[in-house]
């Protein structure tokens, strides 16, 4: 009987994971609505197409690499290889920061070189900055979560080997990675 209870508990979804999946579903609906509105508005007179800066490809490589490193960090944590876990969490954090910096450079290019601003009756710039700005907020939240994992890995006093915080952060980080790829492809094809 004891075995049946523990097996049943293992099959249940952790409350933090459940909350994350609800949040991801909500965020997906928000971005689906925004990109759908972008498609509808792009048919207006005066709409301006957007050329994605080449630096966005480098930022994409950084965030995809960071998804790989966080997955490896999760595996190292589960194997209790804390030395490897710490170095991989640090690498993931640094790649996340590189992504943010490269994004900043790309958006400066859009603003200053391509002159895509908030002006214009059709609203291409407004939509672009709202959509990418919301993604940026989610990436910054992910970087903060990575920073928390980093601090706990290097400076945490208690040694709790629950993989849930790392699993939740990894899932969220993969999500913002995939969301970025979707947005980049969307703006290359539609924008």
Q: What's the whole-number average pLDDT of the chain?
A: 87
pLDDT > 70: percent of the chain? 88
State pLDDT tens for residues 139-165.
999 999 999 999 998 887 766 678 899
Q: Parse the chain into domains and list their residue ranges.
A: 2-189
The pTM for the full model equals 0.86
**Fold classified for 2-189:** 1.20.120
Percent of the chain residues past pLDDT 90, beyond the cut? 59
pLDDT at 100 over 50: yes
3-state per-residue secondary structure call for the chain: CHHHHHHHHHHCCCHHHHHHHHHHHHHHHHHHHHHHHHHHHCCCCCCCCCCCCCHHHHHHHHHHHHHHHHHHHHHHHHCCCHHHHHHHHHHHHHHHHHHHHHHHHHHHHHHHHCCCCCCCCCCHHHHHHHHHHHHHHHHHHHHHHHHHHHHHHHHCCCCCCCCHHHHHHHHHHHHHHHHHHHHHHHHHHCC
pLDDT band at 75 (very low <50, low <70, confident <90, very high): very high
């Amino acid at each position: 009987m004891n075995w049946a209870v523990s097996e049943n508990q293992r099959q249940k979804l952790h409350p933090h994971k459940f909350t994350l999946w609800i949040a991801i579903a909500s965020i997906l609906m928000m971005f689906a609505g925004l990109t759908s509105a972008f498609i509808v508005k792009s048919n207006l007179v005066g709409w301006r197409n957007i050329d994605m800066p080449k630096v966005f490809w480098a930022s994409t490589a950084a965030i995809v690499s960071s998804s790989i490193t966080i997955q490896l960090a999760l595996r190292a944590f589960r194997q209790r290889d804390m030395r490897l876990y710490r170095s991989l969490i640090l690498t993931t954090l640094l790649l996340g920061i590189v992504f943010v910096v490269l994004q900043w450079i790309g958006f400066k290019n859009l603003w200053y070189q391509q002159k895509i601003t908030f002006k214009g009756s059709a609203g291409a710039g407004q939509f672009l900055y709202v959509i990418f700005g919301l993604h940026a907020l989610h990436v910054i939240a992910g970087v903060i979560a990575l920073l928390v994992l980093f601090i706990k890995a290097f400076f945490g006093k208690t040694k709790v080997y629950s993989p849930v915080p790392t699993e939740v952060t990894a899932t969220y980080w993969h999500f913002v990675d995939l969301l970025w790829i979707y947005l980049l492809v969307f703006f290359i094809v539609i924008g």
